[in-house]
């Protein structure tokens, strides 16, 4: 079973995760499940220092571990590990923000058990493909086009986010952390795209519900996201 995919590198590099968009030159590497492991952790601090994401098909995994954090001291827990269960509760099929909420709700001072599955490690000596210096690569110009893969409907060739949209995406990512306790730049990009051609918050709310209705975002969050998009368009970010 595939846990997640990375772009242009076989390594477990969470900054190279495949999201909703890929460039026309990109290579995709699929990371499959490896060995299982179990670890007991004393929650001595409120924050574990984990950033969690998911692959959209029921596999939540560790995207980042904050340096010096509680989890950073537990070498058995690694970036790329799939979180299979928490205290015996199976979380396969949960979205990353649901797993993050479960971890956040764990009582400080108590020990909890994580069951993890690490990605299969292979070809560790292989280097990522080189940029430039290759005739076949030189014939392809990246430009600003990207191929967007969708869960419903055909793949489409679209423009990459503009500089204004990039600023809005970063702000929306901050709002996601503020309201939901997660950071997810891919989710933020999808939300900004939903508001690209909308003229008011009502139109944006409808578009957001069509694209991401499963999240059931609170109204105040949707309003703040619309405000961030507007601020970016007006140059206030």
Q: What pLDDT score was predicted for residue 25? A: 65
| Residues 171, 221: Cα–Cα separation, whole Å | 12
Q: What pLDDT score was predicted for residue 43? A: 95
150 and 194 Cβ atoms separated by less than 8 Å: no
Q: Spell out the long-range contacts of 153-162 with Cβ–Cβ below 8 A and sequence spacing 24 or more.
A: 158/21, 160/21, 161/189, 161/192, 161/193
Q: What pLDDT score was predicted for residue 128? A: 46
Look at the block and give the residue holding tokens 């933020």. Answer: 188
Look at the block and give the residue holding tokens 């079973």. Answer: 1
- pTM of model > 0.85: no
Q: Is the pLDDT of residue 178 over 80?
A: yes
Confidence of residue 151 (pLDDT cuts 50, 70, 90): very low
Torsion of CA 106, 107, 112, 115, to 10 degrees: 0
Confidence of residue 23 (pLDDT cuts 50, 70, 90): low
Confidence of residue 77 (pLDDT cuts 50, 70, 90): very high
Q: Is the pLDDT of residue 62 over 60?
A: yes
Q: What pLDDT score was predicted for residue 217? A: 84
Q: What pLDDT score was predicted for residue 58? A: 81
State how far the alpha carbon of 92 is from the alpha carbons of 58, 70, 214, in Å: 5, 24, 17
| Residues 24, 148: Cα–Cα separation, whole Å | 10
Beta pairing partners, 39:
114
| Residues 235, 138: Cα–Cα separation, whole Å | 36
Return the SS3 of 37: strand
Q: What pLDDT score was predicted for residue 40? A: 96
Q: Indicate the range of 37-51, 72-86, 125-139 predicted with least confidence.
A: 125-139
Q: Is the pLDDT of residue 5 over 50?
A: yes
Q: Is the pLDDT of residue 125 over 60?
A: no
């Amino acid at each position: 079973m595939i846990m997640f995919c990375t772009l242009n590198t076989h390594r477990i590099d969470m900054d190279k995760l495949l999201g909703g968009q890929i460039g026309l030159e990109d290579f995709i590497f699929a990371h499959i499940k490896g060995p299982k492991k179990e670890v007991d952790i004393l929650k001595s601090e409120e924050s574990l220092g984990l950033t969690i994401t998911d692959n959209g098909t029921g596999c939540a995994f560790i995207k980042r571990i904050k340096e010096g954090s509680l989890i950073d001291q537990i070498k058995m827990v690694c970036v790329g590990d799939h979180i299979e269960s928490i205290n015996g509760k199976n979380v396969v099929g949960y979205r990353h923000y649901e797993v993050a909420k479960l971890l956040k709700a764990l009582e400080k001072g108590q020990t909890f058990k994580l069951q993890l599955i690490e990605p299969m490690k292979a070809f560790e000596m292989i280097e990522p493909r080189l940029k430039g210096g290759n005739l076949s690569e030189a014939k392809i110009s990246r430009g600003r086009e990207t191929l967007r893969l969708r869960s419903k409907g055909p793949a489409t060739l679209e423009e990459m986010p503009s500089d204004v949209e990039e600023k809005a995406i970063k702000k929306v990512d901050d709002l996601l952390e503020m309201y939901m306790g997660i950071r997810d730049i891919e989710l933020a990009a999808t939300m900004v795209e939903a508001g690209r051609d909308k003229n008011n918050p009502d139109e944006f709310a409808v578009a957001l519900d069509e694209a991401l209705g499963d999240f059931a975002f609170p109204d105040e969050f949707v309003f703040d996201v619309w405000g961030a998009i507007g601020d970016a368009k007006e140059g206030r970010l």
